[in-house]
Amino acid sequence: MTAQRSPQTGNNLDPWYHHYAERAAGLRASEVRALFAVASRPEVVSLAGGMPFVAALPPDLVINAMDRVMRQQGPVALQYGSGQGVPVLREQILEVMALEGIRAHADDVVVTTGSQHALELVSKLFLDPGDVVLSEGPSYVTAMVIFKSYQAEVDHVPMDEQGLIPEALRQHIQRLKGAGKTIKFLYTIPNFHNPAGVTLSWARRLEILEIARENDILVLEDNPYGLLYFDRPAPDAMRSVEEDGVVYLGTFSKTLAPGFRVGWALAPHAIREKLVLANEAAVLSPSSFSQLVISEYLATADWKGQINTFRGVYHERKNALLDALEEYLPDLTWTNPNGGFYVWVTLPKGLDSKAMLPRAVKELVAYTPGTAFFADGDGRRNMRLSFCYPTPDHIRVGIRRLATVLRDELDLLETFAGTGSLNPLREDGRFSSPPADIL
C-alpha cells in the first residue's frame, strides 16, 4: 500500500489511517509516559513518574510466596482462571478495604489487571460519544486518556486544600444539564490526590455523595494511595457509606508492587455482573499466577507492617522535597500532602511548565507539567513533583537544579519584557512575592 493523502493531514505514512474507528482518534500518549524514556536516564533526577519504591519491599517476602505457589498450586497458577478473580484473593481484598471502613461481600469484587484496567472497563460500560465525565481539576492523566478514547468530554470541577468543592460541583451539574449534556459519572481520587496531593474532607465526602444521589450520578472512587498515609489515616472511603451509587477502585500496585498488575473494582451487584463480562471480553481472565502470589503474600507475610514501612519511606521523602523547596524556592506555593506520592506546585505568573520542561531536562531534572492533568490545556503555571522514587539526597539535588531553571526562565522574562516587573527574584536569588492560590 502507498501512503494516503488527505486535505487535512497531508501525507500520512500509516496506510490504515482511514480504516480506524472514530474513537481511535482519542488515543493519545500521556505526557507522563512520554517522559519515562528521558527520566529513566541515570544522570537525570526524575521527579516526574509516580513509580513506587519497590526496593523497600524485602525480596524474600515475594520470592517465598512465589515458591510456595509454584510448589503447592503450580498447575492452577499457570492455568486460565475466573473472569471475576480467584475467590480467596477476593475474600482477602475485603480485609484490605476494611481498613478504610468498607464492609462488602466478596461476590461484588472483580479482580482486574491493575485498577486502571478497572477504570477502562467502567468507561467501556458507561460512556457513549458526547457523554460527560465530571472530575477534579486537575485529575489523573491516564484517566482522561481513557475517557477521551471513548469520545467522552471531561468537565473539571475546581478543588482546594480540602478537595473537590461541593458548591462548584452543583454549579457544574446545573450548567451541563441546562446545556442538555448527559453526565455519566463523577471520577474522583479523594485520598492524597494525584496530582494535587490533597485529601477530600469527611464532610465534603458526605455532601458530594448527596449531590450525586440527588442528580442520579454514579461516583467512581479511585483509591490507589489511601493506605499510604503519614501522620494520620484519611477519612473512611466514600464507599463505606454508599453502596449503590459508588464503584470503588483499588490496587496492589502502590502497597505491594505494580509488576503484578492486580487491582480490583467493588461495584453494585448489577454493575458487577457487567464488569465480569467486560473483563472476560478484554482479557479472558486476570493472571492466576499474580493473584495467587499476592494471596499467599497476604496470608503469610506481615503485609500491614510492610505498608507501614512504605509509609515511613515516603514520609521521609516528602519531607526532603518540602525542605528543599523551602530552601531553594521558598516563595513558590505548594501542597503539603499527608500521604501518597505527589506535591502540586504553582509557578510565578509568566512561567509555562510545559515550555520549560526541555530546559529542565537539559539541567538533568524532570517533572510533570501541569497541562498533563487538565483536559482543556489548563495548568501551565503548575507542575507535579513526585517524591516516591528518588532518594532524599537526589530529591535535594533535583530541586536545586530546578531552581536554576526557574531563575534562568525569569531572567528571560525580564529581558524580553524590557522591565523588571515580571521578575520576582530578589537580589539574594529568592522569589520576592508568592504566586496565586495553590489550586
Which numeric CATH code is attached to 59-301?
3.40.640.10
- Cβ pair 134, 215 in contact under 8 A: no
State the pTM of this model.
Answer: 0.89
Going by C-beta distance under 8 Å and a sequence separation of 6 or more, which residues neighbour residue 48? 32, 35, 36, 39, 366, 367, 368, 384, 386
- Asked if the model's pLDDT at residue 55 lies above 90, the reply is yes
pLDDT tens for each residue of 339-359: 999 999 999 988 999 999 999
Q: What is the pLDDT of residue 18?
A: 79
- Asked if the model's pLDDT at residue 434 lies above 50, the reply is no
pLDDT tens for each residue of 254-276: 999 999 999 999 999 999 999 99
- The CA–CA distances, whole Å, from 428 to 12, 323, 425 equal 53, 18, 8
Residue indicated by cell numbers 536516564: 41
Question: Domain residue spans in the chain?
Answer: 26-50+306-414, 59-301
SS3 letters across the chain: CCCEEECCCEEECCCCHHHCCHHHHHCCCCHHHHHHHHHCCCCCEECCCCCCCHHHCCHHHHHHHHHHHHHHHHHHHCCCCCCCCCHHHHHHHHHHHHCCCCCCCHHHEEEECCHHHHHHHHHHHHCCCCCEEEEEECCCHHHHHHHHHCCCEEEEEEEECCEECHHHHHHHHHHHHHCCCCEEEEEECCCCCCCCCCCCCHHHHHHHHHHHHHCCCEEEEECCCCCCECCCCCCCCHHHCCCCCEEEEEECCCCCCHHHCCEEEECCHHHHHHHHHHHHHHHCCCCHHHHHHHHHHHHHCCHHHHHHHHHHHHHHHHHHHHHHHHHHCCCCEECCCCECCEEEEECCCCCCHHHHHHHHHHCCEECEEHHHHCCCCCCCCEEEEECCCCCHHHHHHHHHHHHHHHHHHHHHHHHHHCCCCCCCECCCCCECCCCCCCC
- Asked if the model's pLDDT at residue 32 lies above 80, the reply is no
Percentage of the chain modeled with pLDDT above 90: 81
- Which amino acid appears at position 50 of this protein? G
The pLDDT of 81-107, averaged and rounded, is: 97
d(CA 362, CA 351): 17
pLDDT tens for each residue of 223-259: 999 999 999 999 999 999 999 999 999 999 999 999 9
Higher pLDDT, 20 or 306: 306
pLDDT-derived band at 175, boundaries 50, 70, 90: very high
Q: What is the pLDDT of residue 35?
A: 61
- Asked if the model's pLDDT at residue 25 lies above 90, the reply is no
pLDDT tens for each residue of 396-432: 999 999 999 999 998 888 887 654 444 444 333 333 3
C-alpha cell recorded at residue 207: 455532601
- Asked if the model's pLDDT at residue 39 lies above 80, the reply is no
Q: Is 3.90.1150.10 the CATH classification of the domain at 26-50+306-414?
A: yes
In degrees and rounded to multiples of 5, residue 220 shows phi and psi of: -105, 105
Q: What is the pLDDT of residue 423?
A: 43
d(CA 133, CA 217): 10
pLDDT tens for each residue of 152-173: 999 999 999 999 999 999 999 9
pLDDT tens for each residue of 296-342: 999 999 999 999 999 999 999 999 999 999 999 998 999 999 999 99
